[in-house]
Amino acid sequence: MPVPMSGDLSLADVLGRVADYTEDVILVTEAEPFDQPGPRILYVNAAFTRSTGYTPEDVISLTPRILQGPNTSREACARIRAALQAWQPIRIELLNYRKDGSEFWVELSITPVADETGWFRYWVSVQRETNERRHFDEQSRLYELVLANVNEGILVADALQPDCPIEYVNAGFTRMTGYTEAELLGRNCRLIQGSNTDPDATRRLGLAIKEQRPATVELLNYRKDGSTFWNLTSITPLRNAQGQVVKYVGVQHDLTDAKLREKEMVAAQRLKAVGEMTGGIAHDFNNLLTAISGAAELLARRLAGDPESAPLVEAIRGAAQRGAGQVRRLMGFSRTPMLARGRVDLRHVLQQLELLLARSLRDNISLSIDIHPDARWVDAETAQLEGALLNLVFNAQDAIANAGCIGITAQACDIDGKPMVRMEVSDTGSGMDETTIARIFTPFFTTKGAGRGSGLGLAMVHAFAIQLGGTIEVRSRPGQGSVFTLTLAAAEEAESVFDTLGEDTVAPSRICSVLVVEDDEVVRTIAVAMLESLGHRVQVCGDADEALGVLCIEQHFDVLFTDLMMPGSMGGLGLASMARKLRPQLAVILTSGWADTDLPAQPARGVAGDAHRFVMKPYTLDDLKRAFDDVAR
């Protein structure tokens, strides 16, 4: 309400009343001195007390420096002093302190006031608290910082303008699309769509905008450089107080990596399915090959004196061996554990590899193989080693754009007192930079074009080397080719085995009573014949349940010879465990042409806590003799 005026009030009284009713702090000081203690306060209004907690009696004759404290900017105070000394007005923001010690920000305006002679006699300071504005500004800066650093792309479009032009984009949106803020503002977000953007998804977005409702779709969008990226796009309408849609907020979440992982998972599932199918095929083929090769060996002994029949039997036996090798290769590229790990003739592996690569490498690729005599024997599994070397060679070929050379060398070496064999596969290809080398053994990582590689080849080689306690390393530079070094433990040289057709197999060191457990009738027949030809006494069962029944009644068995994969309540591992509980002294020999991944990598070195012997199908008479000699010691 209006201030009542009295005829007795002077102009000074009126001005004082006005000053007391204003919300701004008014403070009047002397003009000088500038040095300590500074100009004295002559007047403060009521707003000063409300703002600072000081009464006029508290501050009259003191200086405004009573309001300053430890966090008051020294630089701001220096600027104020410089303005006062120049008799110039100044507007500045300053942190002051209330009587209770609490801080508050003010925006103060200091103006010199002159008397009728023009001499500056006073300073008038008008102050207004800015705590709320500073808080708002700090929050705004925080929001801007957050929006600038989130990975999501955020845009705001004007819903009141034709075609909803973009009026704001955050830094995440520019990073995601490659466009600058200036290139995006005023444009419609269709700018980042392209020929392969799903028209149905864009239609659904357009319909949501027309109906003024939120929507979320997956879109394949295009960066400024033409590359594509997948994103999850969400739009939300913003309404004013009257309910009118005035803005649209769009948030884009990059799905490119998620889509890649999804694709990799599908590829992995397909590989798993192929591996499982391969396992079934390998199991059936190895059972057939066991029967064929076993029968051929037995016939060879019986027809040793028949010069016409012996070559035919030898042909059957050789074909079975080649078939077994092909199945081993098939298993090597699947998920089969290395059941047949042991002494491997590297010279033989490289000879077979050279024959295979002669038909597989490009005509403009030359291959050289050099193996030192001391590096012949390694501790590995034949098919897995051959697969690893094939992977390295084909990877080397892919690195050579035109004509080039691939070299394979093998040298004996000693690492920490342990004899090792170092195999190197080198190429004259394009080489790799350090970033690529750091990821080269990562599953699904590939530098090849789409559809030309799963990214699993080198990862499989790495897993193979680690499983054997070896290493795989790479040396490379861009433009200078690459050298992959596979290091595995050396093995002792193989003993000479008398393996001439027609000659009797050397007698076993001990005649054993054997319980054979095999579900395949043909394989069971051949296994019995082969063991009996070695002099062992044999009894047969078709599954694990039948075998346990026999073991509960009969106690004379020395060896349990069982297949791993059988129908019924349990397989060979379960049977071995139960049999050892019934007969702790019973020796166990396991056999299989395939084993699932729950089987340890080397059953011969430990299954279910026991050191059982393992024989890979298809087995020979010599394989059986060595296995039974081992357990009969």
The span from the CA of 405 to the CA of 177, in Å, is 42
Q: Confidence band (pLDDT; 50, 70, 90) for 143?
A: low
pLDDT, residue 323, reads: 76
Summary mean pLDDT of the chain: 80
> In the predicted model, is pLDDT for residue 5 greater than 90?
no
| pLDDT digit string, tens, across residues 244-264 | 999 888 888 888 777 777 776
pLDDT, residue 498, reads: 35
- 238 SS3 class: strand
Cβ count within 10 A of residue 619:
23
Q: Which domains does the chain have, with CATH numbers?
A: 11-130 (3.30.450.20), 150-254 (3.30.450.20), 337-504 (3.30.565.10), 513-631 (3.40.50.2300)
The span from the CA of 512 to the CA of 556, in Å, is 10
Q: Do 484 and 462 meet the contact criterion of CB atoms below 8 Å apart?
A: no
pLDDT, residue 80, reads: 87
For the chain, how far is it from start to end, CA to CA, in angstroms? 117
> In the predicted model, is pLDDT for residue 136 greater than 70?
no
Per cent of the chain over pLDDT 70 is 80
Record the tokens describing residue 455, joined without a space: 């990214």
> In the predicted model, is pLDDT for residue 351 greater than 80?
yes
> In the predicted model, is pLDDT for residue 594 greater than 80?
no
- What value does the mean pLDDT take over residues 16-31? 74
Helix-helix angle 309-332:382-399, to 10 degrees? 60
pTM comes to 0.45
| pLDDT digit string, tens, across residues 152-184 | 888 888 988 888 899 888 888 888 888 998 999
Q: Do 493 and 260 meet the contact criterion of CB atoms below 8 Å apart?
A: no
Per cent of the chain over pLDDT 90 is 18
User: Is pLDDT larger for residue 257 or for residue 535?
Assistant: 535
Q: Confidence band (pLDDT; 50, 70, 90) for 561?
A: very high
> In the predicted model, is pLDDT for residue 2 greater than 70?
no
User: Is pLDDT larger for residue 149 or for residue 406?
Assistant: 406
The span from the CA of 601 to the CA of 232, in Å, is 44
- What value does the mean pLDDT take over residues 459-478? 85
pLDDT, residue 475, reads: 92
> In the predicted model, is pLDDT for residue 406 greater than 90?
yes
- What value does the mean pLDDT take over residues 424-434? 90
